[in-house]
Amino acid sequence: MLWVSLRRWFHKLASPPCFYAAAGRWIPWLGLATAIVLSVGLFWGLVIAPPDRYQGESMRIMYIHVPAAWLSLFIYVVMAVAAAVGLVWRLRLAEVMAASSAPLGAWFTFLALVSGSLWGKPMWGTWWVWDARLTSELILLFLYLGFIALQSAIPDRQSGARAGAVLALVGVVNIPIIHFSVEWWNTLHQPSSILRMGKPAIHPSILWPLLVMALAFTLYYMTAVLLRARPEILEREKNTAWVQAIVMERG
């Protein structure tokens, strides 16, 4: 019975009018949660957490760089899954979520690259090196920008969504390359310190604020993607009766 109820709820939520209304209710709460968690994470990471034994205070950029890098991968996977659902089942809401996620993923990827360069200069003595992790992350940025440009270049939204979905699905092969690049090739990046066999290699006093910042970035993404999705839904559904009713209600 629980599975049937959840299935009905998701099926109902996939309806653009239902999702539009639900997103309007969720956004204020998600925004409030983002502000609280982000404030806690920044204060914990930048003020309370101790400096690293070897990197000193410069390691504090990790509290921006690592969550941004995580979100750059996570959002692309979300975008690719949504694009696939839209491509196979022609679900318009999935196309909206893919289109709304792409600019956010591009900004997180850009932030990861810039913050990584700022962190790498004092640690490695250079702003940039063409190692596997940095190069594959740069390719991810190009994939995001290519998805956005491809959809913008095709006037018909459905055709643009299908073309973007194909690009997103082809590009998803880059995600495991980014994640495992430090294990497959010799790079300047250290191996994973958190997602590893056994316990994380980071002291809890540094790990916990990092996880809080990752949660804050995720909440921000959820808030921002809903903010972007609502006007996108109205634009795609502008000729339907329920959107006309909203327009008339707002005068």
pLDDT digits (tens, 9 = 90+) for 89-144: 888 899 999 999 999 999 999 999 999 998 877 877 787 888 888 899 999 999 99
Rounded distance, CA 240 to CA 237, Å? 6
Rounded distance, CA 77 to CA 93, Å? 16
Highest mean pLDDT among 23-27, 118-122, 190-194, 200-204 belongs to 23-27
Q: What is the pLDDT of residues 214-233, one digit of tens each?
A: 999 999 999 999 999 999 99
pLDDT (mean) for 55-77? 92
Query: Out of 1-15, 65-79, 132-146, 219-233, which region has the weakest mean confidence (pLDDT)?
Result: 1-15
21 has a pLDDT exceeding 90: yes
Q: CA nearest 14: which of 99, 100, 80, 94?
A: 94
**Running DSSP on this structure, what letter comes out for residue 152?**
H
Contacts of 33 (CB under 8 A, 6+ apart): 219
Q: CA nearest 72: which of 116, 39, 120?
A: 116
- Whole-number average pLDDT of the chain: 88
The pLDDT of residue 90 = 87
135 or 4, greater pLDDT:
135
Q: Which two tokens stand for residue 69?
A: 């890098």
What is the percentage of the chain residues whose pLDDT exceeds 90? 62
SS (HEC) of 116-183: HHHHHHHHHCCCCCCCHHHHHHHHHHHHHHHHHHHHHHCCCHHHHHHHHHHHHHHHCCHHHHHHHHHH
Tell me how crowded residue 142 is: count the other CB atoms within 10 A of its CB: 14
Contact between 213 and 39 (Cβ < 8 Å): no
Rounded distance, CA 97 to CA 91, Å? 10
* pTM given for the model: 0.92
Contact between 67 and 44 (Cβ < 8 Å): no
The pLDDT of residue 184 = 67
pLDDT (mean) for 57-74? 93
